[in-house]
Amino acid sequence: MAKKYNFYAGPAILPQEVMKKAQEELLDFNGIGLSIMEISHRSKDFEAVINTAETKIRALLGVPENYTIMFLQGGASLQFGMIPMNLLKGKKADYVHTGEWAKKAIKEAKLFGTVNIAGTSEDKNFSYVPENLKLSPDAQYVHITSNETIGGIQFSRFPETGGVPLIIDMSSDIFSRRIDFKNIGMIYAGAQKNIGPSGVTLVIMRNDLIEAGTDGLTTMLSYKTHAKEKSMYNTPPCFAIYIIKLVMDWIESNGGLAGIEKINNDKAKTIYDAIDGSNGYYKGTAAVKDRSKMNVTFRLPSEELEEKFINEAKKAGFIGLKGHRSVGGCRASLYNAMSLAGVSELTKFMKKFAGENA
């Protein structure tokens, strides 16, 4: 079976080198005669894995020393609740409403305090990133979703919050580009786009925010627990963390985040150029300035042609090109493990399809 190109919005493909290494080691990790899945999380072999993963994340992302890196469970969806549960305390937070993911975060926050919608692109179906945010000086934090997988929009830079901690759901673009931790109170991400398999959530949080968390919470829902216990209060998702470690090795060998960012820029340029150069056959749905480099959303001249495009693409080995059911159209997700070659192949197919179905 030929390797398929998976353009699904997630879980995403993983680097082939990572998958091959995982396969090689699956029955015998480090020569210990057991799988990484079959050993105690307190064993020195697993402790080396989680410690190395953490060290590499810190180095690659440039995480300052006053932030703690945690490996949690429950996906970004559990974070939507844990963040206000720990930090809102009946007070106010600013949320920028950019689509389905922001909406879910906002819904949970309302259970714990007042939500000020500091900006929204709801008026144009979440096709752009709002500017001129109406931030509250007394907000506990400002929450944004750095990349919206459905609308295909992305913050090209993060808002200036004037010292209020910025909390960013980076589930769909973490490790896709370099980031500046100035203003950042916390970033979090489900692993299954850019850093590993589903089942682990990366949380990077400034220590003063961890310490300021609400007391008296369920132990597992307090960031203090996980920070204090180094993500080992209970058994962590060991295999998923092991894969993250391998992905970090792969990012290193690709020039670190600067290298990855360049490849992602090239991939995005390749497909957006194909869209823009199609004489209007393909139309991008996001505002040009806010186009996501991770999720490229576009339409064809009709829904019938979109269906035909998706089906023929699938036959040609390009799977997962259907847009989210809530918006329709087409979507190509270009997470880190998607190669520039894969994107080039897709654009060739797009050009051919447009020629045959004009």
Task: Give residues in contact with a copy of itself (CB under 8 A).
Answer: 1-4, 6, 8-14, 19-20, 22-23, 26-28, 31-35, 37-41, 43, 73-78, 80-82, 85, 104, 107-108, 111, 190, 192, 197-200, 216-221, 233-240, 243, 317, 320
* Least distance (Å) between residue 123 CB and a copy of itself: 26
* Least distance (Å) between residue 81 CB and a copy of itself: 3
Q: Which of 171, 199, 166, 168 is nearest to 185 (CA)?
A: 166
Q: Which of 162, 109, 107, 151 is nearest to 129 (CA)?
A: 151
Place of tokens 């792969």: 250
Angle at 172 between CA 167 and CA 173, to 5 degrees: 75
* Least distance (Å) between residue 47 CB and a copy of itself: 13
Dihedral sign, Cα of residue 342, residue 202, residue 121, residue 261 = negative
Nearer to a copy of itself, 136 or 198 (CB): 198
CA distance 68 to 205: 5
What 3-state DSSP class applies to 14?
A: coil
Catalytic entry in 94, 101, 173, 322: 101
Q: What is the token pair recorded at 102?
A: 């922001």
Nearer to a copy of itself, 197 or 213 (CB): 197
Nearer to a copy of itself, 158 or 233 (CB): 233
Nearer to a copy of itself, 38 or 131 (CB): 38
20 is catalytic: no
Give kind and range of the element (H or E) at residue 350: helix 340-356
**Residue 238 and residue 196 in contact, taking contact as beta carbons nearer than 8 Å:** no
For residue 38, the 8-state DSSP code is G
Nearer to a copy of itself, 117 or 221 (CB): 221
Which residues face 322 on adjacent strands?
Answer: 330
11: preceding bond cis by omega (within 30 degrees) = yes
The alpha carbon of 163 is separated from its chain's Cα centroid by a whole number of angstroms, namely 24
Q: What is the token pair recorded at 133?
A: 């945010």
Catalytic entry in 56, 94, 173, 193: 193
* Least distance (Å) between residue 83 CB and a copy of itself: 10
Catalytic entry in 94, 169, 173, 290: 169
Q: What is the token pair recorded at 174?
A: 């973490």
169 is catalytic: yes
* Least distance (Å) between residue 196 CB and a copy of itself: 8
Q: Which of 166, 237, 133 is nearest to 245 (CA)?
A: 237
**Residue 191 and residue 244 in contact, taking contact as beta carbons nearer than 8 Å:** yes
* Least distance (Å) between residue 179 CB and a copy of itself: 23
269 is catalytic: no
Nearer to a copy of itself, 111 or 258 (CB): 111
Q: Which residues are catalytic?
A: 101, 169, 193
